[in-house]
A and B are shown apart, each in its own frame.
Chain A
């Protein structure tokens, strides 16, 4: 390192020290909207809206966005992390588990902490989606299913708790959620016959405070939805960050697929709480209510989407709701106090279910099940959407979804035998859309699948507008108070839309798929927008 660079880093560090405020208390996290210059949780706030009150960048000036700096990760894995920004310092994760602290205005590195995970084999990439922060401590789940606390000032590890056995197929890929003095984390591994759970750990000690199994054990309500010993290897992974309602003290989490994925014959019953949203008491982890999106799933329709919380006038009455666009193709509105089903409406082509009964249970279409010879079903295995963050804008009142339209798969089931730590999927799903995230030539026609940002009216589920892409999307969505919407897609474009009309306002080509959620922050009165594409993190701000 030459002297000039060293001085720059010292200067940058010094300026941040000068501007930094108190530690990140839980009150600051609760009131994150009061300091929109920071991005304190995976989705920006604990409501999961991925909506920022920053408004320096507007539909009128967004055309003058220009690149500020790039961070090039050493990892060739997908770069899925959403950074945190705290008082001018950005924290992100380079896959699999390197924590990086950067100057948010220059991209210069303050420190790096490299965790070397033990043997682990997460199904879908050695990835990580981000961090949580409380006080001066960062928290990271690791692909070998540990939870780490790291000093945010110098990157020194503070504690390391084993959450589950990686050897059995457990992994952690999502950003933790801090609630009060606890860190909440869930376990991935739905393709390995795990028994999933969500657990809370003391933020100071790493000691487990409570644990909620997503697959209930003997004597617990819901256990009757499993036959024999199938519950022990029933899956129910958790691989996306939940949300929190402080007025109800409930935390909401999406639960993934039952195991094995495609052969449901070995697990008769509804298989609770797979493919469900669970509302847990934040202090005890006790289940308050649940809603199961896809009972007895044989299509791998993980319900791990970020729960988006908002209060809206529902048929003239103010109501606390969750907005949820599910991998299974339906958009849902649920009452988050009770779990009551208020609305379910497809937002893409759906063939596996024809509607809902009075209680909100989906009505399956005969023959639309995984089969030995293969069955074509819409949406396909990648889903109508998946973990890619949606956004809700209180300004427009619209809910925005990264969607896969016209997408189907042929679902095949095969017999399977459980062996600890081995894949336990029992089939496969074939799709005409390549399972490949790099920019590959696209020859598809529109009726063979395309990606879109779709804006829905939560009151009705009606589509207000659509921004079509030629290729599909694994990019999350960010909206801002100035009615801008930022997103990207597999083609490698990063773009801004008018959140009210869907009109394209600005775009740039980043050269590789955007497989992350954009976020925004501000330092020294200057608003930045950051997003990952390929192996790089890019930041943009207005030309000055």
Chain B
């Protein structure tokens, strides 16, 4: 029998290369920025579907980043972003180290904390880290970045840090714990390159022709929940809507030509410094 309606991906897209990434947090900055800077080297195009590395990343952030950092380079001699391990050379080595820990070091055993599947997800994520683009273009000054963030960049118009700023865009209070510097940099320069699923915007048009655009909070077969531009939590019956569509473009403009390299580096450094508080 011949199969119809089969769907074979184009040649070259079947194999997923290591250069892939589930975007950075979209930085939302509204306001005039006049400085120009040269484009930084960015991540190579990836072919993962949005959200696909999220499980591994979530595990990494929860279990590894507290010691290894979001970039995986906070422990001397170890740099996941460059595929640099002290003791592991194969996936199985990594798996065994995650399971058993490294006696005499701060590396605990995770065999009771994580399932086999989760350990494999983590290992896969570490492989991804090693194969993806490295850290941001240049180190910067976090204090200077904070000034740009709150001043010239007008980032608080859309983003929130602790109790300041808008809730409409992604909350950046702990962004340094969950996003790597290279991702943050890319989000500033190319906000459309990748928008995380949880940062998607939708537009709904009600039967009486009211259009509401907002951040998608949830959806199901019959309803949709969003935060509108006035930070109101709204819920709609889909049967009451004339239109319900995803907004493909990020509401955040590109700052490719608006910050100079120093400002960009400072801003990224500031964002990286926004960490989750240490547990007591």
Contact = CB atoms under 8 A, between A and B. Distances in A.
A428 B56 CA distance: 11
Contacts of B246: 445
B3 A355 contact: yes
B121 A428 contact: yes
Interface in A414-472: 414-415, 422-423, 425, 427-428, 430-435, 441-445, 448, 468-471
A493 B8 contact: no
B208 interface: no
Contacts of A365: 8
Interface in B26-69: 47-56
A428 B52 contact: no
27 contacts: A345-B1, A346-B5, A349-B6, A350-B3, A351-B6, A354-B3, A373-B17, A373-B18, A374-B15, A376-B13, A376-B15, A422-B116, A423-B116, A423-B117, A425-B116, A428-B121, A428-B124, A430-B55, A432-B50, A432-B52, A432-B54, A441-B198, A441-B218, A443-B198, A445-B246, A448-B50, A448-B51
A343 B2 CA distance: 10
B89 interface: no
Interface in B43-99: 47-56, 90-92
A356 B18 contact: no
B187 to A, nearest CB: 17
B113 interface: no
A291 to B, nearest CB: 14
Contacts of A330: 3
Interface of A is mostly: loop
A-B pairs, top 6 by smallest CB distance, nearest first, are A443-B197, A423-B116, A355-B3, A432-B49, A349-B7, A432-B51
| Max chain A Cβ within 10 angstroms of own Cβ: one of B2, B7, B15, B220 | B220
B151 to A, nearest CB: 32
Contacts of B168: none
Contact of A376 (B2, B47, B221): B47
Interface centre among B18, B90, B197, by most chain A C-beta atoms within 10 angstroms, is: B197
B14 A376 contact: yes
Contacts of B54: 432, 434
A377 B92 CA distance: 24
B117 A346 contact: no
A351 B8 contact: yes
A378 B7 CA distance: 8
Nearest to A431: B52
B92 A430 contact: no
Contacts of B200: 443
B1 A412 contact: no
B51 to A, nearest CB: 4
B13 to A, nearest CB: 7
Contacts of B216: 443
Contacts of A427: 120
A445 B245 CA distance: 9
Given A414-B91, A428-B117, A444 B51 contact: yes
Contact of A444 (B6, B47, B197): B197
Q: Which of A410, A430, A434 has the most CB of B within 10 A?
A: A430
Interface string A334-350: 00000000011110011
Contacts, number: 135
A444 to B, nearest CB: 6
Nearest to A447: B49
Interface size class of A (residues with CB under 8 A): 35 or more
A469 B221 contact: yes
A146 B8 CA distance: 44
B6 A441 contact: no
Contacts of A491: 220-221
Contacts of B221: 468-471, 489, 491, 493
Contacts of B9: 351, 376
B4 interface: yes
Nearest to B56: A430
A346 B3 CA distance: 7
Contacts of B13: 376
A259 to B, nearest CB: 14
Contact of B52 (A353, A430, A442, A493): A430
B92 A493 contact: no
Contacts of A423: 116-117
B49 A408 contact: yes
Contact of A368 (B14, B17, B92): B14
A268 interface: no
A346 B6 contact: yes
A360 interface: yes
Contacts of A354: 3, 6, 8
B23 to A, nearest CB: 13
Contact of A471 (B17, B53, B220): B220
A345 B3 contact: yes
A232 interface: no
B16 A470 contact: no
A144 B116 CA distance: 19
B6 A430 contact: no
Contact of A345 (B4, B18, B116): B4
Contacts of A33: none
A374 B91 CA distance: 14
B59 to A, nearest CB: 11
B120 A356 contact: no
Contacts of A351: 6-9, 14
Given A375-B14, A493-B222, A343 B5 contact: no
A168 interface: no
Contacts of A218: none
Interface string A368-382: 100101111110000
A491 B220 CA distance: 7
B141 to A, nearest CB: 35
B15 A367 contact: yes
A183 to B, nearest CB: 32
Contact of B48 (A410, A422, A470): A410
A368 B54 CA distance: 24
B235 interface: no
A434 B53 CA distance: 10
